[in-house]
A = this chain, B = another copy of it.
Protein backbone atom coordinates (compact mmCIF):
# COMPACT_ATOMS: atom_id res chain seq x y z
CA UNK A 1 0.00 0.00 0.00
CA UNK A 2 1.71 3.13 -1.15
CA UNK A 3 -1.18 5.50 -1.90
CA UNK A 4 -0.57 9.01 -0.63
CA UNK A 5 -3.13 11.73 -0.08
CA UNK A 6 -3.28 14.31 -2.86
CA UNK A 7 -2.61 17.95 -2.16
CA UNK A 8 -5.67 20.11 -1.61
CA UNK A 9 -3.86 23.38 -0.97
CA UNK A 10 -5.70 24.95 -3.92
CA UNK A 11 -8.94 24.57 -1.97
CA UNK A 12 -7.75 26.36 1.17
CA UNK A 13 -9.16 29.72 2.24
CA UNK A 14 -7.17 32.95 2.01
CA UNK A 15 -7.05 32.87 5.78
CA UNK A 16 -5.54 29.39 5.89
CA UNK A 17 -3.00 30.34 3.25
CA UNK A 18 -2.03 33.43 5.24
CA UNK A 19 -1.29 31.56 8.46
CA UNK A 20 2.43 31.62 9.00
CA UNK A 21 4.18 29.16 11.27
CA UNK A 22 4.58 30.82 14.69
CA UNK A 23 8.18 32.02 15.09
CA UNK A 24 8.14 30.61 18.62
CA UNK A 25 7.60 27.17 17.06
CA UNK A 26 10.81 27.50 15.08
CA UNK A 27 12.80 27.29 18.30
CA UNK A 28 10.66 24.86 20.27
CA UNK A 29 12.99 21.94 19.54
CA UNK A 30 15.50 23.62 21.85
CA UNK A 31 13.00 23.27 24.70
CA UNK A 32 14.11 19.74 25.57
CA UNK A 33 17.75 20.28 24.59
CA UNK A 34 19.81 19.63 27.76
CA UNK A 35 22.52 21.99 26.49
CA UNK A 36 20.21 24.98 26.25
CA UNK A 37 18.65 27.01 29.06
CA UNK A 38 15.32 27.87 27.49
CA UNK A 39 14.26 31.38 28.48
CA UNK A 40 12.04 31.71 25.41
CA UNK A 41 8.57 30.56 26.43
CA UNK A 42 6.00 31.82 28.91
CA UNK A 43 5.11 28.52 30.56
CA UNK A 44 4.11 28.69 34.22
CA UNK A 45 5.66 26.03 36.45
CA UNK A 46 3.39 23.11 37.25
CA UNK A 47 4.43 23.37 40.92
CA UNK A 48 1.74 26.03 41.13
CA UNK A 49 -1.10 24.03 39.52
CA UNK A 50 -3.59 23.59 42.39
CA UNK A 51 -4.59 19.98 41.74
CA UNK A 52 -2.69 17.15 43.38
CA UNK A 53 -4.79 14.46 41.71
CA UNK A 54 -8.21 13.85 40.25
CA UNK A 55 -10.25 10.64 40.36
CA UNK A 56 -13.37 9.28 38.72
CA UNK A 57 -15.83 6.42 39.05
CA UNK A 58 -17.19 4.86 35.84
CA UNK A 59 -19.15 1.77 34.82
CA UNK A 60 -17.03 -1.33 34.30
CA UNK A 61 -16.79 -3.08 30.94
CA UNK A 62 -18.47 -5.19 29.58
CA UNK A 63 -21.48 -3.49 31.23
CA UNK A 64 -23.44 -6.68 31.85
CA UNK A 65 -26.39 -4.88 33.47
CA UNK A 66 -26.66 -2.32 30.70
CA UNK A 67 -24.82 0.92 30.14
CA UNK A 68 -27.26 2.92 32.26
CA UNK A 69 -27.02 0.67 35.35
CA UNK A 70 -25.90 2.45 38.53
CA UNK A 71 -22.36 1.98 39.82
CA UNK A 72 -22.71 0.28 43.18
CA UNK A 73 -19.60 -1.84 43.78
CA UNK A 74 -16.28 -2.91 42.30
CA UNK A 75 -18.28 -5.56 40.43
CA UNK A 76 -19.90 -3.01 38.18
CA UNK A 77 -17.64 0.03 38.46
CA UNK A 78 -14.04 1.16 38.22
CA UNK A 79 -12.29 3.93 40.08
CA UNK A 80 -9.16 5.55 38.71
CA UNK A 81 -6.86 8.37 39.74
CA UNK A 82 -4.79 10.73 37.63
CA UNK A 83 -1.77 12.06 39.53
CA UNK A 84 -0.18 15.44 39.10
CA UNK A 85 3.33 14.25 38.33
CA UNK A 86 4.39 12.17 35.36
CA UNK A 87 6.71 10.26 37.68
CA UNK A 88 3.64 9.02 39.61
CA UNK A 89 1.83 7.59 36.59
CA UNK A 90 2.26 3.87 36.55
CA UNK A 91 1.08 3.31 33.01
CA UNK A 92 2.32 5.16 29.97
CA UNK A 93 -1.24 5.90 28.87
CA UNK A 94 -2.12 8.10 31.84
CA UNK A 95 -1.99 11.81 31.03
CA UNK A 96 -0.57 13.33 34.23
CA UNK A 97 -2.01 16.69 35.27
CA UNK A 98 1.34 18.48 34.92
CA UNK A 99 1.20 17.45 31.26
CA UNK A 100 -2.46 18.00 30.33
CA UNK A 101 -2.75 21.26 32.28
CA UNK A 102 0.36 22.75 30.64
CA UNK A 103 0.62 24.50 27.28
CA UNK A 104 1.48 22.50 24.20
CA UNK A 105 0.21 19.50 22.26
CA UNK A 106 -2.35 21.43 20.21
CA UNK A 107 -2.91 18.28 18.17
CA UNK A 108 -4.12 16.56 21.36
CA UNK A 109 -2.42 14.57 24.11
CA UNK A 110 -0.56 11.51 22.83
CA UNK A 111 -2.43 8.77 24.80
CA UNK A 112 -5.77 10.24 23.72
CA UNK A 113 -4.72 10.39 20.07
CA UNK A 114 -3.29 6.86 20.27
CA UNK A 115 -6.62 5.52 21.47
CA UNK A 116 -8.82 7.21 18.88
CA UNK A 117 -6.33 6.44 16.09
CA UNK A 118 -6.46 2.74 16.96
CA UNK A 119 -10.25 2.89 17.34
CA UNK A 120 -10.53 4.54 13.92
CA UNK A 121 -8.38 1.81 12.39
CA UNK A 122 -10.56 -0.90 13.90
CA UNK A 123 -13.87 0.66 12.89
CA UNK A 124 -13.00 2.00 9.44
CA UNK A 125 -10.28 -0.38 8.27
CA UNK A 126 -8.17 2.63 7.48
CA UNK A 127 -5.36 2.12 5.01
CA UNK A 128 -6.55 3.00 1.51
CA UNK A 129 -3.99 5.78 1.72
CA UNK A 130 -1.04 5.97 3.98
CA UNK A 131 -0.64 9.48 5.34
CA UNK A 132 -3.84 9.82 7.37
CA UNK A 133 -4.01 10.87 10.97
CA UNK A 134 -6.30 12.15 13.75
CA UNK A 135 -6.53 15.58 15.39
CA UNK A 136 -8.25 16.48 18.67
CA UNK A 137 -11.18 18.90 18.49
CA UNK A 138 -13.63 20.49 20.93
CA UNK A 139 -16.44 18.48 19.32
CA UNK A 140 -18.10 18.68 15.94
CA UNK A 141 -19.54 22.19 16.33
CA UNK A 142 -16.02 23.52 16.76
CA UNK A 143 -14.62 21.16 14.12
CA UNK A 144 -17.16 22.45 11.59
CA UNK A 145 -16.32 26.06 12.45
CA UNK A 146 -12.64 25.21 11.86
CA UNK A 147 -13.50 23.47 8.60
CA UNK A 148 -15.23 26.56 7.26
CA UNK A 149 -12.25 28.73 8.24
CA UNK A 150 -9.77 26.33 6.66
CA UNK A 151 -11.51 26.02 3.29
CA UNK A 152 -13.93 28.86 2.67
CA UNK A 153 -13.79 32.50 1.74
CA UNK A 154 -16.74 34.87 1.88
CA UNK A 155 -18.81 34.28 -1.25
CA UNK A 156 -17.84 30.62 -1.62
CA UNK A 157 -20.47 27.95 -2.00
CA UNK A 158 -20.69 24.61 -0.24
CA UNK A 159 -23.02 21.70 -0.82
CA UNK A 160 -25.22 20.32 1.93
CA UNK A 161 -28.24 18.11 2.32
CA UNK A 162 -31.28 20.22 1.39
CA UNK A 163 -32.36 19.99 5.00
CA UNK A 164 -29.43 19.90 7.38
CA UNK A 165 -28.38 20.67 10.94
CA UNK A 166 -29.49 24.27 11.41
CA UNK A 167 -26.48 25.32 13.43
CA UNK A 168 -24.03 24.05 10.78
CA UNK A 169 -25.90 25.89 8.05
CA UNK A 170 -26.15 29.05 10.11
CA UNK A 171 -22.41 28.97 10.87
CA UNK A 172 -21.65 28.89 7.14
CA UNK A 173 -24.18 31.55 6.24
CA UNK A 174 -22.95 33.97 8.91
CA UNK A 175 -19.54 33.74 7.27
CA UNK A 176 -21.03 34.74 3.95
CA UNK A 177 -20.82 31.23 2.53
CA UNK A 178 -23.70 29.99 0.36
CA UNK A 179 -25.19 26.63 1.26
CA UNK A 180 -26.42 24.90 -1.86
CA UNK A 181 -29.21 22.40 -1.11
CA UNK A 182 -28.68 18.91 -2.54
CA UNK A 183 -31.98 17.06 -3.11
CA UNK A 184 -32.68 14.12 -0.81
CA UNK A 185 -35.17 11.31 -0.53
CA UNK A 186 -35.85 8.88 2.31
CA UNK A 187 -32.32 7.52 1.94
CA UNK A 188 -30.53 10.87 1.93
CA UNK A 189 -28.66 12.61 -0.88
CA UNK A 190 -29.67 11.50 -4.39
CA UNK A 191 -26.33 11.09 -6.25
CA UNK A 192 -27.92 11.54 -9.68
CA UNK A 193 -29.32 14.90 -8.64
CA UNK A 194 -25.97 15.95 -7.20
CA UNK A 195 -24.31 14.94 -10.45
CA UNK A 196 -26.78 17.03 -12.45
CA UNK A 197 -26.20 20.04 -10.22
CA UNK A 198 -22.45 19.87 -10.70
CA UNK A 199 -22.57 19.13 -14.43
CA UNK A 200 -24.82 22.13 -14.93
CA UNK A 201 -22.96 24.45 -12.58
CA UNK A 202 -23.23 28.03 -13.78
CA UNK A 203 -20.10 29.08 -15.59
CA UNK A 204 -18.22 31.81 -13.81
CA UNK A 205 -19.53 30.85 -10.37
CA UNK A 206 -16.78 29.04 -8.45
CA UNK A 207 -17.63 25.39 -7.93
CA UNK A 208 -18.29 24.15 -4.39
CA UNK A 209 -15.21 23.22 -2.40
CA UNK A 210 -17.02 21.11 0.17
CA UNK A 211 -19.92 18.74 0.58
CA UNK A 212 -21.17 18.79 4.17
CA UNK A 213 -23.06 15.61 4.96
CA UNK A 214 -24.39 13.77 8.00
CA UNK A 215 -24.45 10.29 6.44
CA UNK A 216 -25.85 8.31 9.38
CA UNK A 217 -29.12 9.17 11.14
CA UNK A 218 -29.07 12.52 9.38
CA UNK A 219 -30.18 15.58 11.30
CA UNK A 220 -33.04 16.45 10.81
CA UNK A 221 -34.42 13.75 8.49
CA UNK A 222 -33.11 10.61 10.20
CA UNK A 223 -32.05 9.20 6.81
CA UNK A 224 -28.88 7.16 6.25
CA UNK A 225 -26.81 6.90 3.07
CA UNK A 226 -26.25 3.46 1.60
CA UNK A 227 -22.74 2.39 0.61
CA UNK A 228 -23.78 2.49 -3.06
CA UNK A 229 -24.76 6.13 -2.77
CA UNK A 230 -21.58 6.91 -0.86
CA UNK A 231 -19.47 5.36 -3.61
CA UNK A 232 -21.35 7.38 -6.23
CA UNK A 233 -20.94 10.60 -4.24
CA UNK A 234 -17.25 9.91 -3.68
CA UNK A 235 -16.77 9.50 -7.45
CA UNK A 236 -18.44 12.88 -7.94
CA UNK A 237 -16.06 14.40 -5.38
CA UNK A 238 -13.13 13.15 -7.45
CA UNK A 239 -14.64 14.30 -10.71
CA UNK A 240 -15.59 17.77 -9.50
CA UNK A 241 -12.69 18.15 -7.04
CA UNK A 242 -14.47 18.80 -3.77
CA UNK A 243 -13.82 17.64 -0.22
CA UNK A 244 -16.39 15.51 1.61
CA UNK A 245 -16.94 16.48 5.24
CA UNK A 246 -18.70 13.63 7.01
CA UNK A 247 -20.20 14.77 10.28
CA UNK A 248 -20.82 11.55 12.18
CA UNK A 249 -22.05 12.09 15.73
CA UNK A 250 -24.75 9.41 15.36
CA UNK A 251 -22.59 6.80 13.63
CA UNK A 252 -22.75 4.27 16.47
CA UNK A 253 -26.50 4.68 16.93
CA UNK A 254 -27.16 2.32 14.01
CA UNK A 255 -30.37 0.79 15.22
CA UNK A 256 -30.92 -1.13 11.97
CA UNK A 257 -34.09 -1.48 9.97
CA UNK A 258 -37.36 -1.09 11.82
CA UNK A 259 -39.46 -4.26 11.98
CA UNK A 260 -43.12 -3.89 13.03
CA UNK A 261 -43.89 -5.05 16.57
CA UNK A 262 -45.82 -8.14 15.56
CA UNK A 263 -43.01 -9.43 13.37
CA UNK A 264 -39.94 -8.59 15.35
CA UNK A 265 -37.76 -10.75 17.52
CA UNK A 266 -36.67 -9.34 20.87
CA UNK A 267 -33.80 -6.89 20.44
CA UNK A 268 -30.47 -8.43 21.38
CA UNK A 269 -27.00 -7.01 21.67
CA UNK A 270 -24.41 -7.92 19.06
CA UNK A 271 -23.20 -11.51 19.41
CA UNK A 272 -19.58 -10.41 19.07
CA UNK A 273 -17.43 -7.41 18.38
CA UNK A 274 -16.88 -8.76 14.91
CA UNK A 275 -20.59 -8.95 14.22
CA UNK A 276 -21.03 -5.42 15.53
CA UNK A 277 -18.21 -4.04 13.41
CA UNK A 278 -19.28 -5.96 10.30
CA UNK A 279 -22.76 -4.48 10.53
CA UNK A 280 -21.67 -0.88 10.77
CA UNK A 281 -22.23 1.10 7.60
CA UNK A 282 -19.27 1.77 5.34
CA UNK A 283 -18.06 5.29 6.00
CA UNK A 284 -16.83 7.82 3.48
CA UNK A 285 -13.45 7.83 5.21
CA UNK A 286 -13.07 4.10 4.66
CA UNK A 287 -13.76 4.51 0.92
CA UNK A 288 -11.27 7.33 0.59
CA UNK A 289 -8.22 6.53 -1.55
CA UNK A 290 -6.82 10.01 -2.01
CA UNK A 291 -7.37 11.91 1.21
CA UNK A 292 -10.35 14.01 0.18
CA UNK A 293 -12.61 13.06 3.08
CA UNK A 294 -12.52 14.71 6.48
CA UNK A 295 -14.41 12.80 9.14
CA UNK A 296 -15.70 14.63 12.21
CA UNK A 297 -16.09 12.27 15.17
CA UNK A 298 -17.50 13.28 18.52
CA UNK A 299 -18.18 11.90 21.98
CA UNK A 300 -21.29 14.05 22.36
CA UNK A 301 -23.80 11.32 21.60
CA UNK A 302 -21.82 8.30 22.82
CA UNK A 303 -20.30 9.58 26.09
CA UNK A 304 -21.59 13.09 26.88
CA UNK A 305 -21.99 16.40 24.99
CA UNK A 306 -20.26 18.42 27.71
CA UNK A 307 -16.98 16.58 27.19
CA UNK A 308 -16.53 19.07 24.30
CA UNK A 309 -14.09 16.59 22.86
CA UNK A 310 -13.92 14.92 19.49
CA UNK A 311 -11.46 14.21 16.72
CA UNK A 312 -10.95 14.64 13.02
CA UNK A 313 -9.75 11.89 10.70
CA UNK A 314 -8.15 12.83 7.41
CA UNK A 315 -5.02 13.50 5.39
CA UNK A 316 -2.11 14.70 7.51
CA UNK A 317 -1.49 17.74 5.32
CA UNK A 318 -5.07 18.94 5.73
CA UNK A 319 -5.07 18.27 9.47
CA UNK A 320 -1.90 20.34 9.73
CA UNK A 321 -3.80 23.23 8.22
CA UNK A 322 -6.48 22.83 10.89
CA UNK A 323 -3.73 22.61 13.52
CA UNK A 324 -2.28 25.98 12.55
CA UNK A 325 -5.73 27.48 13.07
CA UNK A 326 -6.30 25.65 16.36
CA UNK A 327 -3.01 27.01 17.74
CA UNK A 328 -4.55 30.48 17.47
CA UNK A 329 -8.09 29.65 18.52
CA UNK A 330 -8.86 26.70 20.80
CA UNK A 331 -5.16 25.89 21.44
CA UNK A 332 -6.31 22.41 22.53
CA UNK A 333 -9.32 20.78 24.18
CA UNK A 334 -9.23 21.37 27.96
CA UNK A 335 -6.73 19.23 29.85
CA UNK A 336 -9.25 17.82 32.33
CA UNK A 337 -11.50 16.56 29.56
CA UNK A 338 -8.62 15.02 27.62
CA UNK A 339 -7.20 13.20 30.61
CA UNK A 340 -10.55 11.99 31.99
CA UNK A 341 -12.00 10.80 28.68
CA UNK A 342 -8.70 9.25 27.64
CA UNK A 343 -8.32 7.46 30.96
CA UNK A 344 -11.89 6.12 30.84
CA UNK A 345 -11.23 4.76 27.36
CA UNK A 346 -7.86 3.27 28.28
CA UNK A 347 -9.36 1.67 31.41
CA UNK A 348 -12.02 0.05 29.22
CA UNK A 349 -9.63 -0.75 26.39
CA UNK A 350 -10.64 -0.96 22.73
CA UNK A 351 -12.84 -4.00 23.46
CA UNK A 352 -14.50 -2.36 26.42
CA UNK A 353 -15.27 0.73 24.36
CA UNK A 354 -16.89 -1.47 21.70
CA UNK A 355 -18.93 -3.07 24.51
CA UNK A 356 -20.07 0.40 25.51
CA UNK A 357 -21.07 1.23 21.95
CA UNK A 358 -22.90 -2.08 21.59
CA UNK A 359 -24.77 -1.34 24.82
CA UNK A 360 -25.64 2.13 23.61
CA UNK A 361 -26.93 0.87 20.28
CA UNK A 362 -29.09 -1.61 22.17
CA UNK A 363 -30.70 1.14 24.25
CA UNK A 364 -31.34 3.31 21.19
CA UNK A 365 -32.80 0.39 19.27
CA UNK A 366 -35.34 -0.22 22.03
CA UNK A 367 -36.24 3.46 22.00
CA UNK A 368 -36.45 3.71 18.24
CA UNK A 369 -38.74 0.67 18.09
CA UNK A 370 -40.94 1.99 20.86
CA UNK A 371 -41.12 5.37 19.13
CA UNK A 372 -42.14 4.00 15.74
CA UNK A 373 -44.69 1.67 17.37
CA UNK A 374 -46.11 4.70 19.13
CA UNK A 375 -46.22 6.78 15.93
CA UNK A 376 -48.09 3.98 14.18
CA UNK A 377 -50.52 3.77 17.05
CA UNK A 378 -51.24 7.47 17.46
CA UNK A 379 -50.83 9.13 14.05
CA UNK A 380 -53.56 9.20 11.37
CA UNK A 381 -51.33 7.40 8.88
CA UNK A 382 -54.31 5.97 7.01
CA UNK A 383 -55.56 9.36 5.96
CA UNK A 384 -55.20 9.56 2.18
CA UNK A 385 -54.77 12.61 -0.03
CA UNK A 386 -57.88 13.87 -1.78
CA UNK A 387 -55.74 14.73 -4.78
CA UNK A 388 -54.21 11.23 -4.91
CA UNK A 389 -55.90 8.51 -2.85
CA UNK A 390 -52.78 6.29 -3.02
CA UNK A 391 -50.73 8.87 -1.16
CA UNK A 392 -50.96 9.37 2.61
CA UNK A 393 -51.40 12.86 4.04
CA UNK A 394 -49.30 12.07 7.07
CA UNK A 395 -46.32 9.72 6.77
CA UNK A 396 -43.32 8.52 8.71
CA UNK A 397 -40.00 7.11 7.56
CA UNK A 398 -38.63 4.89 10.33
CA UNK A 399 -34.95 5.78 10.74
CA UNK A 400 -32.20 3.15 10.72
CA UNK A 401 -29.91 5.23 12.87
CA UNK A 402 -29.59 8.26 15.08
CA UNK A 403 -31.96 9.95 17.48
CA UNK A 404 -34.40 11.65 15.14
CA UNK A 405 -37.60 10.79 13.29
CA UNK A 406 -39.70 12.95 11.01
CA UNK A 407 -43.40 13.17 10.36
CA UNK A 408 -44.14 14.40 6.85
CA UNK A 409 -47.34 16.27 6.09
CA UNK A 410 -48.93 17.14 2.73
CA UNK A 411 -49.61 20.81 3.34
CA UNK A 412 -51.86 21.09 0.30
CA UNK A 413 -54.26 18.63 1.92
CA UNK A 414 -55.06 21.03 4.72
CA UNK A 415 -58.79 21.84 4.41
CA UNK A 416 -57.96 25.54 4.50
CA UNK A 417 -54.90 25.39 2.26
CA UNK A 418 -56.39 27.81 -0.26
CA UNK A 419 -58.85 29.76 1.82
CA UNK A 420 -56.89 30.51 4.98
CA UNK A 421 -53.27 29.97 3.91
CA UNK A 422 -53.42 31.24 0.34
CA UNK A 423 -51.63 28.07 -0.89
CA UNK A 424 -48.60 29.06 1.14
CA UNK A 425 -46.96 25.83 2.31
CA UNK A 426 -44.84 27.63 4.89
CA UNK A 427 -47.91 29.13 6.52
CA UNK A 428 -49.42 25.66 6.93
CA UNK A 429 -46.15 24.43 8.42
CA UNK A 430 -46.09 27.26 10.94
CA UNK A 431 -49.74 26.74 11.80
CA UNK A 432 -49.30 23.01 12.39
CA UNK A 433 -46.21 23.67 14.52
CA UNK A 434 -48.28 25.99 16.71
CA UNK A 435 -51.21 23.57 16.88
CA UNK A 436 -48.94 20.78 18.08
CA UNK A 437 -47.67 23.09 20.83
CA UNK A 438 -51.24 24.09 21.67
CA UNK A 439 -51.94 20.40 22.06
CA UNK A 440 -49.03 19.94 24.53
CA UNK A 441 -46.09 18.72 22.47
CA UNK A 442 -43.28 20.28 20.50
CA UNK A 443 -41.63 19.14 17.26
CA UNK A 444 -39.19 21.18 15.19
CA UNK A 445 -40.55 22.28 11.78
CA UNK A 446 -38.47 21.38 8.73
CA UNK A 447 -38.14 25.00 7.65
CA UNK A 448 -35.69 25.52 10.50
CA UNK A 449 -33.26 23.24 8.72
CA UNK A 450 -33.32 24.60 5.19
CA UNK A 451 -30.24 25.46 3.16
CA UNK A 452 -30.35 28.71 1.25
CA UNK A 453 -28.84 29.59 -2.05
CA UNK A 454 -29.49 32.85 -3.77
CA UNK A 455 -27.40 32.23 -6.86
CA UNK A 456 -28.61 31.43 -10.33
CA UNK A 457 -28.55 27.68 -9.97
CA UNK A 458 -31.04 27.72 -7.13
CA UNK A 459 -33.66 25.99 -9.23
CA UNK A 460 -31.48 22.89 -9.47
CA UNK A 461 -31.54 22.25 -5.80
CA UNK A 462 -34.83 23.56 -4.58
CA UNK A 463 -37.76 21.36 -3.82
CA UNK A 464 -41.00 22.75 -5.20
CA UNK A 465 -43.45 20.30 -3.66
CA UNK A 466 -45.91 20.98 -0.91
CA UNK A 467 -44.65 18.42 1.57
CA UNK A 468 -43.49 19.73 4.92
CA UNK A 469 -42.11 17.84 7.90
CA UNK A 470 -41.58 17.99 11.62
CA UNK A 471 -38.56 16.58 13.43
CA UNK A 472 -38.84 14.74 16.70
CA UNK A 473 -36.38 12.87 18.86
CA UNK A 474 -36.76 9.68 20.84
CA UNK A 475 -33.44 10.19 22.61
CA UNK A 476 -34.22 12.87 25.11
CA UNK A 477 -37.36 11.71 26.91
CA UNK A 478 -38.35 8.60 28.87
CA UNK A 479 -40.60 6.15 27.04
CA UNK A 480 -43.92 6.94 28.72
CA UNK A 481 -43.42 10.64 28.07
CA UNK A 482 -42.48 9.93 24.47
CA UNK A 483 -45.74 8.03 24.00
CA UNK A 484 -47.74 10.84 25.56
CA UNK A 485 -46.04 13.42 23.37
CA UNK A 486 -46.64 11.43 20.21
CA UNK A 487 -50.31 10.88 21.08
CA UNK A 488 -50.66 14.65 21.42
CA UNK A 489 -49.01 15.16 18.03
CA UNK A 490 -51.45 12.61 16.59
CA UNK A 491 -54.45 14.41 18.07
CA UNK A 492 -53.26 17.75 16.71
CA UNK A 493 -52.75 16.35 13.20
CA UNK A 494 -56.09 14.59 13.26
CA UNK A 495 -57.80 17.80 14.31
CA UNK A 496 -56.16 19.70 11.46
CA UNK A 497 -56.36 17.24 8.59
CA UNK A 498 -59.08 14.68 9.34
CA UNK A 499 -61.89 17.00 10.33
Contacts and interface: CB of A to CB of B under 8 A. Distances in A.
Contacts of A70: 52
Contacts of A173: 18
B305 A50 contact: no
B174 A328 contact: yes
Contact of A37 (B16, B170, B481): B481
A478 B44 CA distance: 11
A305 B102 contact: yes
Interface residues of A, number: 109
Contact of A101 (B23, B77, B307, B335): B307
Interface string A194-218: 0000000000000000000000000
Interface stretch (A274-282, A296-304, A392-400): A296-304
B58 A448 contact: no
A30 to B, nearest CB: 5
A39 interface: yes
A437 interface: yes
A103 to B, nearest CB: 5
A42 interface: yes
A97 B305 CA distance: 11
Interface stretch (A137-145, A185-193, A456-464): A137-145
A478 B49 CA distance: 15
A422 interface: no
B141 A331 contact: yes
Interface SS of chain A: mixed
A174 B30 contact: no
A43 interface: yes
A441 B35 CA distance: 8
A332 B360 contact: no
A287 B473 CA distance: 49
B330 A175 contact: no
Interface of A: 14-16, 18-20, 22-24, 27, 30, 35-59, 67-68, 70-71, 77, 97, 100-103, 138-139, 141-142, 145, 154, 166-167, 170-171, 173-176, 219, 300-301, 303-309, 327-337, 340, 344, 356, 360, 363, 403-404, 437, 440-444, 448, 471-473, 475-478, 481-482, 484-486, 488-489
Given A19-B170, A22-B167, A171-B328, 20 more contacts: A15-B174, A18-B176, A24-B444, A37-B482, A37-B488, A38-B477, A38-B485, A39-B442, A39-B477, A39-B485, A40-B442, A42-B403, A43-B473, A44-B305, A48-B363, A50-B304, A50-B344, A52-B58, A53-B57, A141-B330
Q: Which 3 A-B pairs have the closest CB atoms?
A: A306-B335, A37-B485, A101-B306
